[in-house]
Amino acid sequence: MSSRDSILAAVLKNQPPLTSLPDISGFKVPEEDLVEKYKDTFSGIGGIVYSAANMEAVKNHIRENFDTGKRIVSTLPALSDVAEFCSASVEPHSFEDVELAIIEARLAVAENGAVWLTEEVMGHRIIPYISQHLAVVVDESVIVSTMHEAYAKIADEEYGFGGFIGGPSKTADIEQALVLGAHGPLSMTVYLIK
Amino acid sequence: MKGTQDHAALAEAFNKDEDRVDWHDGALWWIRQKRDRSANQTPQWEELREAASAIKSNVISNLHDYLLQFEENLKRNGVKVYWAADAEEHNQIIYKILSEKNINQMVKSKSMLTEECHLNEYLAERGIDVINSDLGEYIQQIDNEPPSHIVLPCIHKKKEEIGELFHEHLGTEKGLSDPTLLTRVARKHLRNVFMTRRAALTGVNFAVAETGEYVVCTNEGNADMGAHLCEVQIASMGLEKIVPERKHLGVFLRLLARSAIGQPITIYSSHFRKPRPGQEMHLVLVDKGRSALLARPDFRDSLKCIKCGGCMNTCPVYRKSGGLSYHNTISGPIGAILAPNLDMKKHADLPFASTLCGSCSNVCPVKIPIHDQLYKWRQVIVKEGYSASRKTFSMKAMALTLSSPEIYKTAGKTGRWILNHAPFAINNKFNPWYKQREMPDSPKQSFGEWYAKNGSKS
Amino acid sequence: MKIGLFIPCYVNQLYPNAAIATLELLQKLGADVSYPSKQTCCGQPMANSGYEHLTQSCNDLFIENFSGFDYVVAPSASCVLHIKDHLHSHADEKAAASIRGKIYELVEFLTDVLKIEKLDACFPHKVGLHQSCHGLRGLHLAQMSELVAPDFSKPKQLLNMVQGLELTELDRVDECCGFGGLFCIAEEAVSVKMGKDRITDHTKHGAEYITSPDLSCLMHMEGILQRNNSKVKIIHIAEILNCSSIKA
Ligand code: SF4
């Protein structure tokens, strides 16, 4: 018998009688101001939140806060005059020198500050991880309260790769001292658009 | 692994340096407090734990079908699937994948399973170099030591010691111990590793049967750096990592990081489903004792574990003895209930490395009755003959006395039986009790004797 | 209401005053208490060491001694928990089950069965409360710090009725003291370190006495206190609750 078959046979033999799945539809949080909650949570985790009236304001913020002399990439057409458009068809290693990547998230979660990104909005899977700094544009209307609502929205979306990102990369492996910028971005900025 | 010393001996050695014990205890207690704050800020926390536990009960009870469903979906998504009965087979599979591609260097993110399988050593013997990319695991690797904690692999090390290791292995200046500077050095070094590795291996936190995707959680971003830059992506997972549907991830992702370090979610929760164009994805399903554990009704709930490390942070014995004294890849309370299933003789001491205080079971996000299992493992270990015969002898003598009121009473009169026989109070100076504690005073009469004289009067 | 007083082996032989206080306190509160003289032990020392299979005759003896009572009460949370969880009998499982259901630790007996609301007791001292783990997480004598749930504490409820008594604070409200039965011998180093740290938490908040519903924890801490010539004393909660104004 192959390992596959013998493992499956042993599992079938040894697993206990079937128990039912719980109903998880009852997890709700009290009414709250999602935008405020999101801002609090995200800044609490070491992220930067900036409320922007429109994309013009985003562009200005980028020009003022990031080194525009270095490589900036984006998948947002509206940012074409500050960023180069990134595509999925190039070698991932070629993004090593990206200083800032700007992506749009279609979903953000107030309880933990995370944004949901699929590879379509990333441009390339490696982008939000390899860039030195990450900025994400979030329309305030896409903020949901908890992960339960986030998954209800994701539902049966088809993606090859998707991820929640909840702040700048971090580590506390050395004596529990928090250091932002472990392997991924050193900072993460969220632009909240009304 | 440090020879054949048991937990008590290794813990005693750890306690030689009391300042370090206090520091270690304090660091972990701080994390426990962060966990408490985070739990208290989450509405319906206890209901979430209940739901997580019930989902995992369902997984355990229907694992066979879920595995088949998961496998089918993986294949449909273009992922190659392998099954490994044990560590040896797992390692062979990984070796074969790599050698067929002529790959001799791989980068690996955190995976307790591959640590348990001693994959790095296996591949090294065959000329393949593996670098652990999680900072804590990297530090443990260059120090040639196993992780002492499943979430915080080098929690037992001081920054000066890490600075010394970096000086030796990465050529940093001597005396450098600032955590930020050390992290920057590692970042630079490991970026170069990520950029040059054709293969990357990750562990798996959750595997969704319904969709065939698997989720990997990190704070550092190391799993993603490896996975998205490599041409051969490999994931190793224990059979128990299954969750039925995508929506169930909501429950587990809400609990995992809060229970682990008091953070609302891990920075990165990456859902891998299909290889990107030009990339290969492989996934190895590993049994390694799990199907056997399913056959132990008293212990199968330990398969619910989501490896948050919460039980370690709260365990006073763990905090005051250090993870390495458990001489097992997975230390702490959860290690002590998982290890005997794999090798009872080698780990016979671990279920006894506990006061059965029960704090672990209360923090566990999937409600494993950890301390009950510790108690039950003790019974199994004794019955199967893995306890010292000296202990058995004295236990039998105790049972005899305590089942006979006559012997007990006479023994009590002639010099306090308990002081001579109770294991925690044997009245001689060779008894470990006496090393750092005084014996209780011996009163003139026992309560029984007092009652015989005064009881009816009062 | 007939109450059988269960005095665990080590309390009987080493801490008779705590047992006397328990008896007197229950009698003061009007209870009909008696002490079956053929009792020995709950069997926990064997069972926690992995030898539960040797405890059958101990169990049978326990059942023989306590079957005839409406309630069984003991001044030891740990032993009560053991009986609640592990008292079984091949010969008479019904009797075993009945005892499992009617055994109470002293504190919970006072708060839940006798439901006392005041006490004539006086103990003008600063007292630190040690929550025994078995009392806390096993018998739920108080809320556990790990859970997100409303706070309560049965021992505190009683101690608050004692005149002059001042409860001191703790940094870690319900950390284990490290006794753990055989653990205190087998893992001597960790056990003592845990005990020392518990004591420090009490002493740095000014406790003159450490009390608890469990004497095994107190015995362990007493051993450490005495070795270090500390002035801090241990005292079983029954002795405080039974302390009249004159005695104190
Ligand atoms: S046993 Fe529970 S608390 Fe311990 S690591 Fe596993 S999930 Fe976390």
Helical (H) or strand (E) element with C45: helix C44-46
Domain assignment present for residue C121? The answer is no
Domain assignment present for residue A8? The answer is no
ipTM comes to 0.97
Q: In this structure, are C159 and C204 located in the same domain?
A: yes
Task: Convert the pLDDT of each residue in A80-125 to its tens digit.
Answer: 999 999 877 889 999 999 999 999 999 999 999 999 999 999 999 9
Among B25, B353, B440, select the one facing C219 at the smallest CB separation.
B440
Does A contact C via 3+ CB–CB distances below 8 Å?
no
- Give DSSP secondary structure letters for C156-171: HHHHTTSBT-EEPP-S
Domain assignment present for residue A12? The answer is no
Domain assignment present for residue A147? The answer is yes
What number does the ligand 1 atom closest to the CA of B304 have?
7
C contacts of B433 (beta carbons < 8 Å): 184-185, 188, 223
Nearest CA to ligand 1 atom 8: B308
Tell me the residue range of the domain where C38 lies: 2-113
Among A21, A26, A96, select the one facing B195 at the smallest CB separation.
A96
Residues forming CATH 1.10.1060 domain(s) in chain B:
1-40+297-387
B contacts of A177 (beta carbons < 8 Å): 159, 179-180
Q: Residue B250 in contact with residue B206, Cβ under 8 Å? A: no
Nearest CA to ligand 1 atom 2: B364
- Give DSSP secondary structure letters for B348-392: TTGGGS-----HHHHH-TT---HHHHHHHHHHHHHHTT-S-HHHH
Residue C12 contacts B, CB cutoff 8 Å: yes
Q: Residue B401 in contact with residue C157, Cβ under 8 Å? A: no
φ, ψ of residue B447 to 5 degrees: the values are -60, -40
Three-state secondary-structure class, residue B448: helix
* A180: CATH: 3.40.50.10420
Does B contact A via 3+ CB–CB distances below 8 Å?
yes
Distance, CA of C30 to CA of C35 (rounded, Å): 16
How far is the centre of ligand 1, averaged over its atoms, from the C-alpha of B332 (Å)?
Answer: 10
Contact residues, C window 204-223, toward B, CB-based 8 Å cutoff = 216, 219-220, 222-223
Helical (H) or strand (E) element with B234: strand B232-238
Domain boundary among C74, C90, C113: C113
**Torsion, CA B23, CA B29, CA B30, CA B34, rounded to 10:** 170
β-pair partners for B105: B129
The confidence score (pLDDT) of residue B444 equals: 84
Q: In this structure, are C151 and C235 located in the same domain?
A: yes
Q: In this structure, are C225 and C203 located in the same domain?
A: yes
* C168: CATH: 3.40.50
Name which of B213, B216, B63 is nearest A156 in CA terms: B213
Contacts of B46 (CB under 8 A, 6+ apart): C147, C148, C149
Q: Supply the mean pLDDT for chain A.
A: 95
Distance, CA of A67 to CA of A163 (rounded, Å): 27
Distance, CA of C165 to CA of B22 (rounded, Å): 32
Exposure of B23 in the CB half-sphere (CA atoms within 13 A): 12
Domain boundary among C113, C142, C166: C113
Distance, CA of C202 to CA of B294 (rounded, Å): 44
A contacts of B47 (beta carbons < 8 Å): 26-27
Encode chain B (458 residues) as per-residue pLDDT tens digits. 445 789 999 999 999 999 999 999 999 999 999 999 999 999 999 999 999 999 999 999 999 999 999 999 999 999 999 999 999 999 999 999 999 999 999 999 999 999 999 999 999 999 999 999 999 999 999 999 999 999 999 999 999 999 999 999 999 999 999 999 999 999 999 999 999 999 999 999 999 999 999 999 999 999 999 999 999 999 999 999 999 999 999 999 999 999 999 999 999 999 999 999 999 999 999 999 999 999 999 999 999 999 999 999 999 999 999 999 999 999 999 999 999 999 999 999 999 999 999 999 999 999 999 999 999 999 999 899 887 766 777 777 777 776 677 776 666 554 456 666 665 555 555 678 888 888 887 788 889 889 989 876 55
Domain assignment present for residue A159? The answer is yes
Domain assignment present for residue C118? The answer is no
Tally of domains in chain C: 2
The confidence score (pLDDT) of residue A10 equals: 98
Contacts of B278 (CB under 8 A, 6+ apart): B231
Domain assignment present for residue C151? The answer is yes
Whether domain B1-40+297-387 has CATH 1.10.1060: the reply is yes
Name which of A120, A130, A118 is nearest A91 in CA terms: A130
Among C23, C148, C176, select the one facing B39 at the smallest CB separation.
C148
Give the gap in angstroms from C-alpha B457 to the nearest C-alpha of chain A: 58
Q: DSSP letter at A69?
A: T
Give burial (CB, 10 Å; 0-12/13-18/19+) of C115.
exposed
Domain assignment present for residue C119? The answer is no
Q: In this structure, are C38 and C74 located in the same domain?
A: yes
Distance, CA of B267 to CA of B253 (rounded, Å): 11
Size of interface A-B (CB pairs under 8 A): 252
The confidence score (pLDDT) of residue A29 equals: 83
The confidence score (pLDDT) of residue A7 equals: 98
Instruction: Spell out which residues line ligand 1, taking CB within 6 angstroms.
Output: B 259, 305-311, 334, 363-366, 368, 370
Q: In this structure, are C106 and C133 located in the same domain?
A: no
CA dist B346 → B328, B336, B343 (Å) = 10, 11, 6
Tell me the residue range of the domain where A182 lies: 32-193
Q: In this structure, are C17 and C77 located in the same domain?
A: yes
Helix (DSSP H) and strand (DSSP E) numbers for chain A: 6, 12
CA dihedral sign of residues B93, B99, B100, B101: positive
Domain assignment present for residue A184? The answer is yes
**Torsion, CA B171, CA B177, CA B183, CA B188, rounded to 10:** -20
Three-state secondary-structure class, residue B281: strand
Joined tokens for residue A20: 């039912």
In the block, tokens 């047992």 appear at C19
Please state which CATH number belongs to domain B42-288.
3.40.50.10420
Joined tokens for residue C115: 């439901």
Q: In this structure, are C134 and C237 located in the same domain?
A: yes
Q: What is the pTM of this model?
A: 0.94
Distance, CA of B403 to CA of B428 (rounded, Å): 25
Domain assignment present for residue C247? The answer is no
Residue C198 contacts B, CB cutoff 8 Å: no
CA dist A57 → A63, A79, A101, C53, C127 (Å) = 10, 11, 17, 75, 62
How far is the centre of ligand 1, averaged over its atoms, from the C-alpha of C73 (Å)?
Answer: 36
Give burial (CB, 10 Å; 0-12/13-18/19+) of A62.
buried
Name which of B393, B417, B394, B396 is nearest C54 in CA terms: B396
How far is the centre of ligand 1, averaged over its atoms, from the C-alpha of B206 (Å)?
Answer: 14
Joined tokens for residue C65: 């001694």
Q: In this structure, are C154 and C100 located in the same domain?
A: no
Q: Residue B157 in contact with residue B323, Cβ under 8 Å? A: no
Task: Convert the pLDDT of each residue in A138-165 to its tens digit.
Answer: 999 999 999 999 999 999 999 999 999 9
Q: In this structure, are C71 and C162 located in the same domain?
A: no
In the block, tokens 């049967």 appear at B209
Among B21, B358, B405, select the one facing C137 at the smallest CB separation.
B358
Nearest CA to ligand 1 atom 6: B305
Domain assignment present for residue A69? The answer is yes
Q: Where are the alpha helices (DSSP H) in chain A?
A: 3-14, 34-44, 55-65, 119-122, 127-130, 147-154
What number does the ligand 1 atom closest to the CA of B310 have?
3
CA dihedral sign of residues A116, A120, A125, A127: negative
Q: In this structure, are C133 and C109 located in the same domain?
A: no
Nearest CA to ligand 1 atom 4: B311
Q: In this structure, are C109 and C208 located in the same domain?
A: no
Q: In this structure, are C134 and C102 located in the same domain?
A: no
